[in-house]
Amino acid sequence: MTTVDMRYTGSALDRVEGLEKVTGRARYAFENFPADLVYAVPVQAAIARGEIRAVDVDAVLEHPGVIAAIWYGNAPRLVPSDNADLAVFQSRRVAYRGQYIAVVVAETYEEAKEAARLLRVEYAAEDHDVRLRADHPNMYRPEKVNPNYPTDTEHGDPDTALTVAPVLVDATYSTPAEHNNPMEPHATVAEWDGDALTLYDSTQGASGVRDTVAPLFGVPPANVRVISPHVGGGFGSKGGPSPYVIIAALAARHVGRPVKLAVTRQQMFAVTGYRTPTIQRVRLGANADGRLTAIVHDAFEQSSTITEFAEQTTTPTRIMYAAPHRRTTHRLVRLDVPTPSWMRAPGECPGMFALESAMDELAIACQIDPVELRIRNEPDADPESGLPFSSRNLVACLREGARRFGWADRDPAPGVRRRDRLLIGTGVAASTYPVYRRPSQATAQAHRDGRFTVRIAAADIGTGARTVLTQIAADTLRTSPDQVLVEIGDSALPAASLAGGSMGTASWGTAVVRACEALVEGLDRRDGDLPAAGMESSADTTEEIGAQRRLSRHAFGAQFAEVGVDTDTGETRVLRLLGVFAAGRIINPKTARSQFIGGMTMGLSMALFEESIMDLEFGDYLNRDLAQYHVAACADVRDIEALWVEEDDPHLNPMGTKGIGEIGIVGTAAAVANAVHHATGVRIRDLPIRLDKLMR
């Protein structure tokens, strides 16, 4: 066994699968073509609430190439589960416009698409309600918020503290529904062999899809294999199986042939999740010197009538700033809309827009620099739990960011700096994201030729997971990355947590380290003398994670933005964007920078463009494609940079890492909004910052 002196973690290693991707050899879900394949095209409900009376299946079956048309009236029965969204074709009820209510299977995609278009459905429509409002009579307090946080928290007497506070900010902020739009649309190829099901799926977690799908069809998890070696983005929308996965499997079993189903971009606006719109009221009480005495943050959100999903919007407020009196609440209303779900940095992203906008308003009210205000309210420990932080370097991020951004030269007066037709302004906001780690399993195998294979059912959704796991394994095995093959993206491999919650590297990396450590110990005992079949070791981190010390674990960051607002049109451009982060040990600077600036670009997009517009009459989103649902393009990202401060945190995992995939988006929208106020004197509390709002 070769020992190398270089440590590969911390180096900017190129993506190990890069050649596969640029040469087209990387295979995505839709690119699987088992023998005898047929195509499925779902039919969506044309009403927002009501019941299906009849579906003219017989007429569709007469079309060329059509093999089957499936709906509630002839669909196989699924085993009931807690996830009602996955009970496809099990009821006549329509819960939202765009819901999948039938599917047509045909020899070709074109034949299936045409037949689905012509399928006649008779409805009994009912009045629907699709508008979120804070005073909705059916607003209620859910038992918990995602993933398992307390719905409300309260400490001290915040109402009294607000009443007597020398300085008070009381403002309402709102964010619209926003839709995940990964480059690769959702797709599944389903193939049955007796009672064994294989799914080629675009997913953020093969193990989770297997464990969810198997019981629906009454088979053990071992009978379901989910293969997903490459995923073209997800942003949370591929965190679990959506209805299309179940439809593909159901249709494949029904017709006895492999079935391919691809979700169109337009369909994604109804059936693959989205970020709930929010209405948030933030009240801050402070002394004249800007020190907070009270924080109250109330969030109002929506879910569907099918499934409850309550986003954890106010949870970041619980750990951000010191204040003796505090309260956070969440309220939810069930509307005739699709079920919201995870979208990059759920909770923290919309919640920090409101909190950090309010902090900017407080800084102005107290006539204190916004960076200094945040530093003055830095807590010594977690403000609500009292737990010590494993590490917390928000102040370092603020100070380093201010230095690099040139913040010291900022004139605090709004609306006074011009550059030709542009009003120029700068803004700052803090960001945070919790550190999660979930149990995972891995194996490590040594081969007689000196190479190693590491196996774990992780997912690489474009983040560089393969690469960083290769680096982690190489260092633990005392070898070089080119001697290590990491196999991921298959539920037949050792079970792994999903790629979400910024917990992939922490969860999978721990399992890989432990499996590789066990292998090294075994090799050392044998003095490198391998049997003919090589040697393999395994690890399961369940017990290790369950026994971890109780600490408050979070990543932190600071976002700085410079904007230019056209005085004639109200058009806003982000001229500069800087993020400085404290996120533990950075395994690969190249992939990490991509993650940070990717999140920041999404935050810029949230600030200026993204908005799913609900048609109240028909109960459907009007802008259901990327021609009308606007996202940031290259021309909108003119000067963007991400940096990080060194952070050594031994309390996290063997690598000392914190998640980096989501914290970049958190705080960015607030930094942009705060910069727009500084440029114009106009406070936009309702995203996105459209030119019509500024011109008013």
Residue 520, C-beta contacts closer than 8 angstroms, at least 6 positions apart: 476, 477, 478
d(CA 475, CA 454): 13
Structure tokens at 92: 């006549």
Does residue 454 contact residue 484 with C-beta atoms inside 8 Å?
Answer: yes
Residues marked active site are found at 662
Strands of the 535-540 sheet, one edge to the other: 484-487, 452-455, 441-446, 535-540
Q: What gap in Å lies between CA 109 and CA 262, rounded to an integer? A: 10
Q: How far is CA 692 from the centre of its chain?
A: 30
In what order do the strands lie in the sheet containing 325-335? 153-155, 325-335, 292-304, 278-286, 167-175
Q: What is the DSSP letter of 478?
A: T
Give 523's contacts (C-beta < 8 A, 6+ positions apart): 1, 446, 530, 535
Residue pair 233/184 in contact by the 8 Å Cβ criterion: yes
| Both structure tokens of 574 | 């982000």
* Of the candidates 665, 625, 650, 610, the residue with the CA atom closest to the CA atom of residue 277: 610
Write the CA distances from 567 to 572, 684, 695, integer angstroms: 10, 16, 9
Residue written as tokens 């017709």?
255
If you write DSSP's letter for every residue of 116-156 in order, what string do you get?
HHH--EEEEE--------TT-TT-B--SEETTTEES-EEES
> Which residue's structure tokens are 């991921």?
488
- In the chain, what is the greatest distance between 2 CA atoms, to the nearest angstrom? 78
How many CB atoms neighbour CB 46 within 10 A? 16
Alpha helical stretches, state H, 406-561: 465-477, 504-525, 542-546
